[in-house]
Amino acid sequence: MLNLERLRTLDALARHGSVSGAADGLHVTTSAVSQQMAKLEREVGQRLLAKNGRGVRLTDAGRLLAEHAARILSQVELAQSDLEAQRGQVVGELRLAAFPTGARGLFPAALCHLRARHPALGVTTAEVEPAPALRAVLRGDADLAVVLDWYNKPLPVPDGLTRAPILDDPVDVAMPATHRHADRAEAALEDFADDDWITWGDDEFCHEWLLDTLRSKEVEPRVAHRAQEHATQLALVAAGLGVCVAPRLGRGPLPAGVRTVPVRQAVRRHVYAVWRADADRRPSIRAAVEALRAAGEQVA
């Protein structure tokens, strides 16, 4: 008989590509991963791992068993979903992930909603950017992720995942209170062609969106400062160092000396929940989506 937890360890090794990565994904030590793999090799009577420089790789037998392990674990999750659906109760454990402003803007209200209506459900959360959050759901490291894309830049969602809309997040431009456009009722992004921009890191999805959008309007933005957190971006705006895009979800109070103006073209971020298709019938997933939507209705 193949042990399910050892198959889960093998699956994590195949997905993460290293013992340390598997240990992080399973929230165990590297020693525990090595011990589980040694026991699994004894069970099947074949070498599943081989040394590869300073790390390890799966042997042919390891890759073959890992493919079966992925299917077996998917069937186990489907069985659990069906049992939960038959029972019709929102119970068990649910792991949620969201990009930072999504976590800040949605999780407090959504978790209170879930706690009040489903006290037998245990929920844990983590801040994860959209692309790695999708990978976490695919790997089984998260049950549901809150991700985003832009009205003109969709985020590719891999096969095997299901998604549901949570809200459309309106976007403003934040600028110093002394800015020439600060008193306008609305403005276009290209109106800020001569300003310094404060944006995200080079490889961030939102940073790429901003560059692509401005360039589509024949504007080459001057990116003066980069910051991951919106609060940091707004602090730089308050210091008079540039302008930034300011989505409303999770934004919080504006610093003194900062004004926001809605974008004329109704620029929006689409925020939605994503989960594995084989978990589609879990009542806890449906309850989480309902809670997130209720939280989203509170966003101005």
Residue pLDDT, tens place only, 144-192: 999 999 888 888 888 889 999 999 999 999 999 999 999 999 999 999 9
Structure confidence at residue 229 as a pLDDT band (50, 70, 90): confident
**Residue 81 predicted with pLDDT over 70:** no
**Residue 203 predicted with pLDDT over 80:** no
Average pLDDT, the chain: 89
Q: Is the model more confident about 145 or about 78?
A: 145
**Residue 139 predicted with pLDDT over 90:** no
Contact 40, 10 (CB under 8 A): yes
pLDDT at res. 145: 97
Structure confidence at residue 90 as a pLDDT band (50, 70, 90): confident
pLDDT at res. 88: 67
Whether the full predicted model's pTM is greater than 0.75, yes or no, is no
The tens digit of pLDDT for each residue in 30-77 reads 898 889 889 999 989 989 988 888 788 899 998 999 889 888 887 887
Q: Over range 222-236, report the average pLDDT.
A: 93
Structure confidence at residue 86 as a pLDDT band (50, 70, 90): low
pLDDT at res. 25: 74
